[in-house]
Structure 1
Amino acid sequence: MTASAPRIVHIGGAHPYTISIGEGLLDDGSALTARIRGRHVLIVSDEHVAPLFARRVEIALHNARPDLRVDRFVIPPGEQAKTLARFGDAIDALAALGATRDACVLALGGGVVGDLAGFAAACWMRGIDCIQLPTSLLAMVDSSVGGKTAVDLPQGKNLVGAFHPPRAVFADPSALDTLPERELRAGLSEVIKYGAIVDAPFLDWLEANAAPLLAREREALVEAIARSCLHKATIVEHDPFEHGERALLNFGHTFGHAIEAEQGYSGAGNDALNHGEAVAVGMVLATRLSAHLGMAPAADAERLRALLTLYGLPTTLPAGLDADRLIQRMRLDKKAHAAGLRFVLWERAGAARIVDGVPEDAVLETLLEG
């Protein structure tokens, strides 16, 4: 099966590329190989995704270009695999492949795979091509777009990484058929984020289309993915290295990353939150902090909480987390700086802004409310 009339989102700037969204893209060898310059390809995936899609991609690649040498590097699933040690293993895999400067890394999986694969591509021979093949909704609408790559440390999330824009992104919504329900909802958290920060009418659309999105109806999913990617593309094009406007994309993430780090990145388990769930809680906390600071009406915070609840996402801090320890995590977060804690807050739905030097007592009060 080949892709038919995919939706295309263009990323401009110094390193332009396209995001293609459409059915059958994972099997479209002609489209994939058109972005591959050399003959060495390393498919990076995880133990859940590789058995589902890796062989399909390999067949598509070889049918279009029999000369390609294609290897796989497969990691355990989950955020706990996004480490410097696994990064080193990925580099070893590129060395074993004999990857040259025109080699390409294919990131086949969710956000963890995309981050790790992209970072390996950024560092091998000081930078080779990476094509993102996101298979989770969260990766399709967020982590595969924009060129942020990284691994985690015990002290915090994404502390070691590089900006390395992909050569292309191919988002095939058919991959979402196999996505666990929890992961689908986690991805919808990042979709909701775009409405919260820049597009209040998108929140209206999401309220009206919760049922088809949760039922994985193709038309609704493609629209949500395309609209989210368009918002991220616009922001990234203006600020590729996160010196200003791009930080808006971190709405809910300062709280969310602190939660993930404090829980030891164990979101694959039943008790800990995964990334999208932590961001959902973080967005609610950010809106409440905005209300505490007199920036936004509390009613808007309640509306966002209700929308997240509609999508089956958590909206309160997990039990047992210490507020003081979460603040310590936030001090190390890469979004903080010498002037103190930095948050993305909002004035109303669809109108977020970056606020520096947020008083820690206001943050503590928000955390203690849960």
Structure 2
Amino acid sequence: MTGSTQDGAQNHGAQDDGDGQDAASLGIRSISVGGRYGVHIGVGALTRLAEHVSEGRRVMVIHQRGRTDLVAEVVEAVRAAGGEPHVHEVPDAEAAKDVRVLAGAWGALGQAGFTRNDLVVGVGGGAATDLAGFVAASWLRGVDVVQLPTSLLGVVDAAVGGKTGINTAEGKNLVGAFHEPRAVLCDPTWMGSMARADFVSGLAEVIKCGFIADPAILKLVEADPAAACEASAPVVSELIARAVQVKADVVENDLTEAGIREILNYGHTFAHAIEQVEDYRWRHGDAVAVGMIFAAELAVRSGVLGQDVLDRHRTVLSAVGLPTSYAGSGWEPLRRAMGRDKKARGATLRFIVLSAVGSPQRLEGPDEQVLIEAFEAVAAP
């Protein structure tokens, strides 16, 4: 894969971990996002945090509940680098992306006297890093942020690409900003405590990258679906790196979603509608899995995709235990929710669909009856 390197002293200056091992010996793989920042993946990735901490620099560690062990390591790393650590806990999952939680984080920054020279560090799943990114984007019109995603979904989706945001009663991520991190650090061991269902949910975003850009991802999952579901399996690091590379390549060419970046939303229009109708009780990855099935059904019924690729969607997603149908709501609530999606233009719905594996395109204003037929196919058990 282009843009992927083994980290060493010649690559951004590897840090010593205190035991005589630098990033290269720890096997950290770095992926550049447009030359603007790196995503560092591997055991010992936390060693890279010191590069962003200087003497006296305040560092606010915004973290979700239940990661006190990792938070303690982050605090110690900040202190060892001469920084001044502060810690702010936020709720788990989508409950973190609430305006009241956001206001609480702003209050913590204000009370600690944070300036534009200081740093926010996001620790947790995708919701925690989304929130931390928006806190950094909005405080004093922008301070630095380093993201430490602890979930599969977090590293392959939320933490990379500079999208930040919170939810409102009207929809998901309707309030946000583009604010790229200074770095993303991912140690696969941080995912070891994840519930299996949560880890598998994150695979939906990995598989999405396979369908839109890198078919090798699909082949790796198809070759051993059980291994793909185990955070400690060697294939998982390869899947993470490939998914991150797909996103990095897209973001490099389109930071603010003016064009090609829309392909990363494959499956998301219907997925976000499910999440809203279900009051965010559905896991994001589970909703994306069903959303991809809906998009594939829509593409087949619009005459742009073959049945074989639709069938492959169901086979790959089912193989790792992801859902491929949704019957929890009628069509009308979902249709209203999709009408409020960020990708809609006025009354016109826009979807990312495939014409083949690795060939995404935009479908605008599909016939209403075709939309209903695609929904009915997804709603069927």
Common topology (TM > 0.5): yes
Number of the residue aligned with 1:21: 41
Is 1:34–2:51 an aligned residue pair? yes
CA contact (8 A) 1:154 1:264 kept: no
CA contact (8 A) 1:151 1:160 kept: yes
Is 1:8–2:30 an aligned residue pair? yes
Cα distance in structure 2, aligned partners of 1:316 and 1:344? 19
RMSD between superposed Cα atoms in Å: 1.4
Deviates more, 1:197-206 or 1:136-145: 197-206
Determine which of 271, 277, 301 is the counterpart of 2:286.
277
Cα distance in structure 2, aligned partners of 1:17 and 1:235? 14
TM-score (norm 2): 0.90
Cα distance in structure 2, aligned partners of 1:263 and 1:80? 14
Cα distance in structure 1, aligned partners of 2:87 and 2:294? 40
Query: Given residue 12 of structure 1, which amino acid in structure 2 is its aligned partner?
Result: G
CA contact (8 A) 1:43 1:54 kept: yes
Q: Secondary structure at the match of 2:43?
A: coil
CA contact (8 A) 1:209 1:220 kept: no
Cα distance in structure 2, aligned partners of 1:204 and 1:78? 31
Is 1:56–2:76 an aligned residue pair? no
Is 1:320–2:328 an aligned residue pair? yes
Number of the residue aligned with 1:98: 113
Determine which of 240, 245, 267 is the counterpart of 1:230.
245
Query: Given residue 194 of structure 2, which amino acid in structure 1 is its aligned partner?
Result: L
Q: How many residues align?
A: 355
Number of the residue aligned with 1:150: 165
Q: Secondary structure at the match of 1:184?
A: helix
TM-score (norm 1): 0.93
Determine which of 326, 329, 344 is the counterpart of 1:336.
344
In the alignment, structure 2 segments of 5+ residues that lack a partner are 1-16
CA contact (8 A) 1:341 1:360 kept: no
Cα distance in structure 1, aligned partners of 2:163 and 2:102? 15
Question: Could you say if the C-alpha distance between residues 246 and 108 of structure 1 is closer, same or farther in structure 2, counting changes exceeding 3 Å?
Answer: same
Number of the residue aligned with 2:4: none
Question: C-alpha displacement at 1:316, in angstroms?
Answer: 0.4
Deviates more, 1:276-285 or 1:78-87: 78-87
Question: C-alpha displacement at 1:72, in angstroms?
Answer: 1.1
Number of the residue aligned with 1:169: 184
Deviations 1:161-219 (A, max 9, x none): 00000010001101011111011101111000001111223211221132222232342
Question: C-alpha displacement at 1:339, in angstroms?
Answer: 5.8
Structure 1 stretches of 4+ with a deviation exceeding 4 A read none
CA contact (8 A) 2:78 2:84 kept: no
Number of the residue aligned with 1:309: 318
> What are the residue-to-residue correspondences of 1:128-139 with 2, within 5 Å?
128-139=143-154
CA contact (8 A) 1:111 1:144 kept: yes
In the alignment, structure 1 segments of 5+ residues that lack a partner are 267-272
